[in-house]
Structure formats: C-alpha cells, structure tokens
Amino acid sequence: MENKKEMRSWLNDFNLTHPLVIAGPCSAETEEQVLKIAHELKDSDVSIFRAGIWKPRTRPGGFEGVGEIGLKWLVKAKKETGLLMGTEVATAAHCKLALEYDIDVLWVGARTTANPFAVQEIADTLAGTDKIVLIKNPVNPDMALWLGGVERLYAAGIKKLGVIHRGFSTYEKTKYRNIPEWQIAIDLQNKFPDLPLIIDPSHITGNRDMILEVTQEALNLNYDGMIIETHTDPDNAWSDAAQQVTPDALKQIFKDLRVRKQDDVSDEYTQKMNKLRANIDVLDGNLLELLGKRMKVADQIGQVKKDANVAVLQNTRWNEILGKMILEGEKKGLTEEFVLRMFKAIHQESIGHQEKIVNV
C-alpha cells in the first residue's frame, strides 16, 4: 500500500472548515435516547453520529449492546437529522447487518484489530464497499499490526479508509485509561500522511474532564478529526459513563479548541524556527554524548559485578534512582510519565550493556 492523495478524498468531500467530528453515545440504549442525542447534535460541528450497537466487554455479564434493533434507531435518526450514521463492527455478521441497514461509517475496534483473522473476515465481507471504514489501533502498541489492518481493508478494494487513535493498554497505572503513545500515531502519519487520522479522546482518557486536553494535543499534531462519546445523561449511561460528555459540554469543547495552521511561510517565523531548531540539534547531540558516556560507566559497573559474581539487576538501587529522578524531573518541568519512560529505556540499555560483559 502506497500513500496517495486520493486517500483524503472522502474527507475532503465533507468540505469542512473545521476538523471532522464523530459523536454520539458509547452505546445505543433506547430509541428515545438515540433520537434525543442525535437531535441535540444536529446543528453543531458533528458530521457523523456514532452509537455502539454491539459492545465487546472484557468480562461476561456486562451490557453487550442492543443488537440489530439499534440499527433501526440509527436509520430513523438519520432520516430525522440528516446526520451520517456510524457504528463499530467486529464480525462478518455485524458487517452484513450494517450494510443491510445502509450504515454510512463502520469502524473496527481495538480488540478486533489485534486479530488479523477477524480483520480479514471483515475485509472480505466489506470488499468493494463505498462506505467509510475506519480502523482503531490495536490494544497493544504495535504499529505494524495497526497498519496491517488498514492494508487488509485496502487490498479488499475499500477506498474510503481512515485510522482512529484510541490509545494503548498498559499494566501501569497512569492518568490515562489507555496511554496515547503519540509517537506510534506520528510514525504512521509520517508513512501515510494522506490517510485520515482521527483522535478518540474518550477511550484514551476514560475521563470526561480530560477530553479537551487530549483533543487539543491531537489537533496540535495535525490530526484530521475526533470521535467523542456524548450522552444526555452520562452518569447513568449503560456503558463507559465516566468518559462521556453532554451535548452542551461537547459544543463548548468545539468552541475552546484551537485549530492551528500547519505551517507559516513568513520570514520572521522561519528565522525564529531555524534558530530554535539549530539549538535543539545541538542539545540533542549533547544528550547522545552524555548517554554514550553513561553507558561506558554501565560497562565498568558490569565488569565490577562480573568480578564479584553479583547479579546484574539490583532492584533496590533502581527504585531509589527512579524515585529521585521523578522528583528532579518535576522541578525541571518534566512529567512523571516522561521521566518514567525515559529512565526505563536508559535502565534497559544499561542492563543490556552489563549483560554483554557478565556473559562473556
């Protein structure tokens, strides 16, 4: 699959003056609920109404969606509001029903993306469709798996494609429900700059109070749109209550978001950026020089451990360093998440250096 300008055609056809917005409840609960939310979003920046018809749950016993009857509600909502309708599909049966009810936008969820057999089944069922088909990143941070899902759909002759960044699962507790791992999405964007990229702040944050923050960060990175869960009574939603916002709150988010230019060609801007980037280049070089020196010390530590027949990993020492660095990082304006990730990477590299020496 090669990047082509035509990949953006379906998005360009909306003729929007703002990023694409997909919004609606996490789950379609009742006909009244679906219609009420759709009407409240009708005269806003929302172009596509979303509602979960089938809900994959981590454990059995939870609400797993209303099923086919919900598709009838979406058809009625489209007729009354003119909004396009979208829902998640996870099986061939879901796809067949969605096509039967003429649902406009389909997306493959994170759990399904992680299963190439399931994605291929969906691709075969949707082969040649003119519907918009989006694919969420897999639950694990694997860009190849994400891109592989897109390629399977592309190979099936599906032209209106896009990707949704919903964050990645981790065993670590952070402020996010699913950590963004922004660099993975940026790397995909660099490979396929014309493949529409949509942020899902609802699933990244799991917290309605963080929706604006994460959406703004995505727009700063030139994302093309957003998919946000919206409910008239979010606290009593049947699924994912904490991450849904009211339609009024969503409209306020639209007002608060700042859509930035991709570039500025003025001489003043160019001169300032060139100067600052030159400074960054020098500092990055210094960082690599320091890291190289640090690894040489790690080599020496490895030799001392080898001579004394001591294990490479020293957990007490590592935990002391990590706690200290988090505090020092905060003083320098660095987030705890960044410091953790950076020093874990440095620590892993140090262990690798020491193991080479100890195992010789």
CA-CA distance, 291 to 98, in Å (whole number)? 53
Q: How confident is the model at residue 181 (pLDDT cuts 50, 70, 90)?
A: very high
CB 234 within 8 A of CB 31: no
> What is the number of other CB atoms lying within 10 angstroms of the CB of residue 266?
9
pLDDT at 233: 97
CA-CA distance, 224 to 153, in Å (whole number)? 20
pLDDT at 86: 98
Q: What is the dihedral of CA 107, 110, 112, 114, to 10 degrees?
A: 130
* Residue 176 in tokens: 């996010």
Q: How confident is the model at residue 287 (pLDDT cuts 50, 70, 90)?
A: very high
Place of tokens 């429900």: 177
pTM (global) more than 0.75: yes
With a cut of 90, say whether residue 202 has pLDDT above it: yes
CA-CA distance, 224 to 11, in Å (whole number)? 9
Q: Tens of pLDDT along 216-254?
A: 999 999 999 999 999 999 999 999 999 999 999 999 999
Residue 45 phi/psi, 5-degree rounding, is -80, 0
Q: Tens of pLDDT along 139-179?
A: 999 999 999 999 999 999 999 999 999 999 987 778 899 99
CB 35 within 8 A of CB 73: yes
- Closest by CA position to 239, among listed 83, 69, 77, 24: 24
